[in-house]
Structure 1
Amino acid sequence: MKHEGAPQGSVVPSDEEGGSAVAGDSFGQHRLGGLSGKLLLLTVAFVMLAEVCIYVPSIANFRNTWLMDRLTTAGVAASVLAETNTIAPRLQEELLRTTGAVAISLDQGSRRSLIAMSSVPLNVDFVIDMGAVTPWSAIVNSFQLLTYGGDGVLRVIGAGQMGHTQKVDVVLPIALLQKDMLAFSVRILGLSLVISVITASLVYVALRALFIRPLHRLTRSMERFAESPEDSSRIMAVSGRRDELGDAEIRLAGMEEALSRALHQKQRLADLGLAVSKINHDLRNLLASAQLFLERLEHVEDPTVSRIAPKILATLDRAVGYTQAVMSYGKAQERPPQRRLLALRRVADDAADVLGLTDHDTVAFENKVPEDIEIDADPEQIFRVMVNLMRNALQALEAEKDKTLVCRITVEAEREGACVRVRVTDTGPGIPENIKKALFKAFHSGSKNGGIGLGLAIVAELVKAHGGSIRLDETVPGTCFCLEVPDRTM
């Protein structure tokens, strides 16, 4: 004999899983591999899981209600028959047919009466005391009854009528209760499938409209932009959504715009390199010819010519060297520095001579570098650093039209241990705010006319090659560049 604590077996979850697959196939089979199909199947699965959680207590409640209905019917009839002491065979048959029971007895405490019996029950598999039923025992017993296979009977004990102290003892075929429970399960399963399909369809339509279509729009925009990144008209148009997808659109459009701008800059660099390479050969020939003429002028016995010719010749030598390495920035590298100890004050004077600052009409030049400051650097490269910084300052000051403004370029330096700090300052208008973040990047020219934005990029590269650094000092009026060049490590 089995009681309510027996192990539970259940086949209902497997049936419902099969129902989920069928429902999913009916709506999502055309795109099961896509995000829409996966959302559809997941929605069906979750709804069916929720229905299973609802079904478990529902089937237990159905069992309890079914058994109580049989006990109530049997109890009312048994009480009437017991009070009248009339138990005719016809009435017994009618009572058994109505309740579906095999045997009915009434326990009145002091005596026990057999009310009706169609046959002697030989194998009672379950005994259920309705007064001792708990939610968990009802659930366990319900699945035991659903999975039961055989022709056994169950015995149910409980109060037949409210307010009566007697108990009714009914013996019922298990197959009768099992049939009704299976019919109830089929109805629940069908209702669950309908609810899950309707819910999944609504969720599918909503998610496709809210998420899938915008994601497709993002994908199509990326594909279209990838076909021609240089075309700024292919940058994604922001829809104005105020959610995460709208944020993704803004970020994608920003990324595409930045990439398009970067490609334009790279194309500009390529065009510049091509143009420079075309004129490089002819320029070198012209400079070489100028050197030959100056070498002849050196033999002229004129004090002015003798004083100026060596400086012009040195300048031409540097220009020839520049033409030989003119593409080095385009190759993204400079030759390694060939360091020597240099008199920094003399380097600043030479740069000022080349730029014409020593006798400039409107711009004053002050070389405040101490005589004893020596810098460990490549002669040509540190000269280029000074020329670029001082040329930028000169161009900014020459653009000023107000004669009352002070126009002055100052070079200062100091040594701290194994490092030389150099400051190039001018009294100009300063660096515009919009280019400070990209100040040392190529093609981010400031306000000067005709500039292409390579001077500071070259300076930063040359200083970095020496193991140093350069920065803009914003605490000083005008423009002040501070660079540090450490000595060689021995």
Structure 2
Amino acid sequence: MTRHEPVPMAASPAPSPETEKEQPQRPVGPGPVRLGLSGKLLLLTVLFVMLAEVLIYVPSIATFRLNWLNDRLAAAHTAALVLDAAPSGMVPESLARQILASVGAHGVAMKMGHQRRLLAVSDMPPHVNHEIDMRDMPWHRAIADAFVTLLCSDDDAMRVVGPAPMGGDFLEIVMDEKPLRQAMIRFSTNILLLSLLISGITAMLVYLALHYLLVRPMRRITANMMAFRADPENSSRIISVSKRRDEIGLAETELASMQADLSSMLQQKSRLAALGLAVSKINHDLRNLLTSASLFSEGLTMVPDPRVQRFAPKLMRALERAIAFCESTLSYGRAQEPPPDREETALEPIVAEVRDTLELADDRIGWITAIERDLMVDADPDQLLRILLNLARNAVQALETRAPNDPSRDQVRITGRREGAVVVVEVSDTGPGFPAKAREHLFKPFQSSARTGGTGLGLVIAGELVRAHGGEIGLVEGTIGATFQFTIPDRAVDLEAHRPARARA
């Protein structure tokens, strides 16, 4: 266990110079961003390259140590041949010292059979701190021993055992660990400097590549988004799409599309706001005119003409509804529709009033009704009339585009039926129908009209009123012309409110 503890200590100093080198490069700017994208890329590249170099360094330092020891064993092998070849094993002490100095050892010994011969010895250390057997050296032990050597003191000595020449069992040498440690430190220093050089060059190349491929386009997109935010209605602020076909190019395309849609929508909202302001100014005078017309129309009730007596009440009711509408509605987007004042209402008379309002009595356009007898709707009568009037007027206007009209061909059909607690009403025509573009924007102002110059507000108003009753409205697919169906459910019965009356009964 003690041999593995020094490993992180040897590797830990490597990132420190880079960390200290990178800290001054952090931008000191306002906001939460402390390190820009370019700085992060550069820092991460350096760290990853240094990490790769550390992973390479660990086996490299172990291999360097083994090679250094094998070189000393090879030199000791040659020295053993010289010492063993001396007559009667007599070698002058000066020559033995020179041979040991060339090997870098204090002593050389060889074992042959049961005999162990000390070939040469000089200044033997008092004790040996480490024993290294080069005949059996697994990789994990070589790595651990390498870091142990790096952390040893200059006074440590080691005994190295390796294969012996001339059929001996093994050859051993005793030597100081200081030369090995110094050689390993020089090797580590060279590796560190080379790693710093490689990481610096690699980081710079990667930084430049990513800067031109990612960072600069992202800065351009960010700057455009900030400029567009300052004036989103200015179409000149929409980003110009580059010719790139990668993710950056796709992001530019989608951003340009989103900015164009948003700019168009904001311009439309501005026009609607201006329109609402203009209508609100007109509304006061229009209400006064309608009030005057209503007062004048009251005199028509005194005319004895039967036709006047027939249409005068309808005219009065129409003017009263117009005055009430002007008082409560300024324009779409500013109007606040009042909650429906629901009551049991007969559908057929309201449909007949819609026909009279649209002046279809001259039979230029066919009018067909198929309403269940005595069908009652739990709805606000005025709002139900507006729903049917808007839908029927759209149908008539669609048929009038094919003038001259033929009542056998150009027809408006209104049907009504009850399905349980829900009344289902359909308003259909035999006109050209809705184009695909208008279908995508149904019930949206200024977008759902099928006619040139139309506003589409009729469908919007009808949709709002139907939903205020808790119902649904939609275009029925697969029919000739256009068929709109809306539903109005009955109100839920409040049992608690009816319980006292039932108790009294």
The equivalent position to 2:163 in structure 1, one of 119, 137, 159, is 159
Q: Secondary structure at the match of 2:302?
A: coil
Q: 2:49 — aligned with what?
A: 47
The equivalent position to 2:473 in structure 1, one of 467, 470, 488, is 470
Q: 1:9 — aligned with what?
A: 6
- Pairing 1:393-408 to 2, within 5 Å after superposition: 393-401=395-403, 406-408=409-411
242-251 vs 183-192, greater mean Cα deviation: 242-251
Cα separation, 2, equivalents of 1:445 and 1:17: 65
Q: How many residues align?
A: 484
- Pairing 1:330-409 to 2, within 5 Å after superposition: 330-331=333-334, 333-361=336-364, 363-401=365-403, 406-409=409-412
Structure 2 residue ranges without an equivalent (≥5): 29-33, 494-505
The equivalent position to 1:278 in structure 2, one of 281, 288, 301, is 281
**Do the aligned partners of residues 234 and 131 (structure 1) sit closer, same or farther apart at CA in structure 2, a change above 3 Å counting?**
same
- Pairing 1:145-184 to 2, within 5 Å after superposition: 145-161=149-165, 164-184=167-187
Q: 2:423 — aligned with what?
A: 420
Q: 2:36 — aligned with what?
A: 34
Cα separation, 2, equivalents of 1:80 and 1:97: 14
TM-aligned CA deviation for residue 466 of structure 1: 0.3
Task: State the AA in 2 paired with 1:368.
Answer: A
Is residue 118 from structure 1 mapped to residue 115 from structure 2 by the alignment? no
285-294 vs 465-474, greater mean Cα deviation: 285-294
- Pairing 1:43-192 to 2, within 5 Å after superposition: 43-84=45-86, 85-161=89-165, 164-192=167-195
Task: State the AA in 2 paired with 1:390.
Answer: A
Task: State the AA in 2 paired with 1:386.
Answer: L
Structure 1 residue ranges without an equivalent (≥5): none
Task: State the AA in 1 paired with 2:57.
Answer: Y
TM-aligned CA deviation for residue 402 of structure 1: 6.0
Cα separation, 2, equivalents of 1:97 and 1:348: 122
TM-aligned CA deviation for residue 168 of structure 1: 1.4
Superposed CA deviations along residues 299-354 of structure 1, whole A, max 9, x for unmatched, are 12222211121111111111111111222642364111100111111111101111
1:265–1:443 contact (8 Å) kept in structure 2: no
TM-aligned CA deviation for residue 83 of structure 1: 2.4
Task: State the AA in 1 paired with 2:135.
Answer: G
Task: State the AA in 1 paired with 2:39.
Answer: G
TM-aligned CA deviation for residue 359 of structure 1: 2.3
1:151–1:175 contact (8 Å) kept in structure 2: yes
339-348 vs 319-328, greater mean Cα deviation: 319-328
447-456 vs 119-128, greater mean Cα deviation: 447-456
RMSD, matched Cα: 1.9
Q: 2:233 — aligned with what?
A: 230
Q: Secondary structure at the match of 1:15?
A: coil
1:328–1:334 contact (8 Å) kept in structure 2: no
Superposed CA deviations along residues 35-72 of structure 1, whole A, max 9, x for unmatched, are 11111111111111111110001111111101110011
Q: Secondary structure at the match of 2:129?
A: strand
Cα separation, 2, equivalents of 1:332 and 1:282: 17
Superposed CA deviations along residues 364-393 of structure 1, whole A, max 9, x for unmatched, are 111221231111100111110001001111
The equivalent position to 2:326 in structure 1, one of 309, 323, 341, is 323
User: RCO greater where, 1 or 2, for CA within 8 Å and sep 6 or more?
Assistant: 1
Q: TM-score, normalised by structure 1?
A: 0.95
Cα separation, 1, equivalents of 2:23 and 2:311: 93
**Do the aligned partners of residues 421 and 340 (structure 1) sit closer, same or farther apart at CA in structure 2, a change above 3 Å counting?**
same
Cα separation, 1, equivalents of 2:93 and 2:322: 132
Cα separation, 1, equivalents of 2:242 and 2:263: 20
TM-aligned CA deviation for residue 150 of structure 1: 4.5
2:328–2:336 contact (8 Å) kept in structure 1: no
Q: 2:250 — aligned with what?
A: 247
TM-aligned CA deviation for residue 7 of structure 1: 4.1
Cα separation, 2, equivalents of 1:73 and 1:349: 121
Cα separation, 2, equivalents of 1:267 and 1:7: 73
Q: TM-score, normalised by structure 2?
A: 0.92
Percent identity over the alignment is 45
Q: Secondary structure at the match of 2:466?
A: helix
Q: Secondary structure at the match of 1:132?
A: coil
